[in-house]
Amino acid sequence: MSDDGDSTITVNGKAVALEPNDTLLSAARRAGATIPTLCHDERLKPVGACRSCLVEVEGQRRLVPSCLTKAEPGASVVTDNARIRRHQSVLMALYLADNVDAAATDDTADASELHELAEHVGAPLDWPRLETIREQRSIDRNPYIEFRADRCISCARCTRYCDEVESVSAITLAGRGSATTIATADQVSLMDSTCEMCGGCIAVCPTGAMTEKRPLLQLLKPATQLKKVRTTCNYCGVGCQLDLNVDEAANEGRGQVVKITSPEPGTMPNDGNLCVKGRFAYNFVDHEDRLTTPLIRNADGSYREAPWDEALAYAAKGLLGVKERHGADALGFVSSSRCTMEENYLVQKLARAAFGTNNCHQCAAT
């Protein structure tokens, strides 16, 4: 029993103060315990599907799923002992028995959470292998998302995310037992379902079963050889945080964004969620039509390339000329909700402080 008897539990002999809605998992993690999870996600209601987070609770005969079990005051919990380690190792070996070979990991050479966990708990890899009977989706013409049934462990992270976070319910668990798979209603393409192509199902999948098509086709380097750069999405004014995965050697050393991944849940303002544009529309960066050098219009209407210094001086001269001839209020400065707040601030500062007009606007203001 804990000291005050009603607001703490003991985790591996250490007292932890309880917080509202604590599960054994959340309280134990606060106490510094490492508990593996596969079906758990902070954004989703716990379901206890994968059984990788089992712990021992004093007085209970069976191991209990820590993600699903409410932390009752006074409970005494053990998160790591020989019995728990044996359970984890056997569980992972069973998952791998009808999954892809551990060494094969992913086509992009990235180990999935499942394979990393299996290695971490020392799961035996020499158990007899079973043929996967989970039904593959028929070829889906959607451009972004690939489902590979042989890697699925039916943890339902993808379907719960789709339902609870996106409120879309485009995908569901279908079938029974070891034939359980992920499907759309009537097996239609995601394009013909309610799917919004947010890619959240890819982000939460711990096995690589739900994955992005394009990197698969491009045979990307492993994630360890890509540089992750946290940045702010520039598609709208929300300011979502995302990670650019950059192949620094590509484009003759200029680098190339080859994939976008979402940061971990809890990263604000988007809590690790992205929309279709933020997650998949990154190829514009290297599009051949993209302007990378300023252009100055010649007298005959044609354009010539110019260095930045010259272009900025040219634009400033033109704007000052309008002010001189017609007054500052003949100028107007229009910014965009696709810029960051800081950039919008600078545009209004440029209008007011540098050119002396309050004529500044931004599309999100209408």
Contact positions vs ligand SF4 (CB under 6 A): 145, 152-158, 161-162, 166, 168, 170-171, 182, 190, 195-201, 204-205, 207, 209-210
Residues 222-256 as b/e (b if ≥16 CB within 10 A, e otherwise) read ebeebeeeeeebbeebeebbbbbbbbeeeeeeebb
Residue 84 interacts with which of ligand SF4, ligand FES, none, CB < 5 to 8 Å by class: none
In whole angstroms, what is the distance from residue 144 CA to residue 281 CA? 10
Which residues are paired to 202 by β-bridges? none
The pair of three-digit structure tokens given for residue 324, joined into one six-digit string: 């001189």
Residue 158 interacts with which of ligand FES, ligand SF4, none, CB < 5 to 8 Å by class: ligand SF4
Give the DSSP H/E element, type plus range, for residue 27.
helix 24-30
Residue 160 interacts with which of ligand FES, ligand SF4, none, CB < 5 to 8 Å by class: none
Residue 215 interacts with which of ligand SF4, ligand FES, none, CB < 5 to 8 Å by class: none
Nearest distance from C-beta of residue 334 to ligand FES, angstroms = 49
- Cα–Cα distances in angstroms (integers) from residue 285 to residues 259, 273, 280, in the given order: 12, 21, 12
Nearest distance from C-beta of residue 39 to ligand FES, angstroms = 3
What burial class does residue 309 get, using C-beta atoms within 10 Å of its C-beta: 0-12 exposed, 13-18 middle, 19+ buried? exposed
Nearest distance from C-beta of residue 71 to ligand FES, angstroms = 14
Q: Give the residue among 208, 263, 205, 207 at the shortest CA–CA distance from 233.
A: 263
**Polymer length in residues for the chain:** 366
List Cβ<8 Å contacts ≥24 apart for 167-173: 168/194, 168/195, 168/196, 168/198, 169/194, 170/194, 170/195, 170/196, 171/195, 171/201
Cis peptide leading into 143, omega within 30 of 0?
A: no
Of 28 and 210, which has the nearer Cβ to ligand SF4? 210
How many of the chain's residues bind ligand FES (CB under 6 A)? Answer: 12
Of 65 and 263, which has the nearer Cβ to ligand FES? 65
Nearest distance from C-beta of residue 152 to ligand SF4, angstroms = 3
Residue 100 interacts with which of ligand SF4, ligand FES, none, CB < 5 to 8 Å by class: none
Of 27 and 100, which has the nearer Cβ to ligand SF4? 100
x/- map, 36-65, ligand FES, by CB under 6 A: -xxxx-------xxxxxx-----------x
Asked if 92 is part of the footprint of ligand FES (rule: CB under 6 A), the reply reads no
Residue 200 interacts with which of ligand FES, ligand SF4, none, CB < 5 to 8 Å by class: ligand SF4
Of 139 and 353, which has the nearer Cβ to ligand SF4? 139
Residue 77 interacts with which of ligand SF4, ligand FES, none, CB < 5 to 8 Å by class: none
For 272, phi and psi rounded to 5 degrees?
A: 85, 5
Of 49 and 162, which has the nearer Cβ to ligand FES? 49
Of 40 and 279, which has the nearer Cβ to ligand FES? 40
Of 46 and 199, which has the nearer Cβ to ligand SF4? 199
Residue 55 interacts with which of ligand FES, ligand SF4, none, CB < 5 to 8 Å by class: none
Residues of this chain, 8-37, that bind ligand FES according to CB under 6 A: 37
One DSSP character per residue, 260-292 reads EEPPPTT-TTTTT---HHHHH--GGGG-TTS--
Q: Give the residue among 212, 181, 217, 215 at the shortest CA–CA distance from 197.
A: 212
Q: Is 210 in a helix, a strand, or coil?
A: strand
What is the DSSP-derived secondary structure letter of residue 129?
P
In whole angstroms, what is the distance from residue 254 CA to residue 252 CA? 6
Given a contact cutoff of 8 angstroms between Cβ atoms, the answer to whether 347 and 353 are in contact is no
Residue 48 interacts with which of ligand FES, ligand SF4, none, CB < 5 to 8 Å by class: ligand FES
Q: Residue numbers of the site for ligand FES (CB under 6 A)?
A: 37-40, 48-53, 65, 67
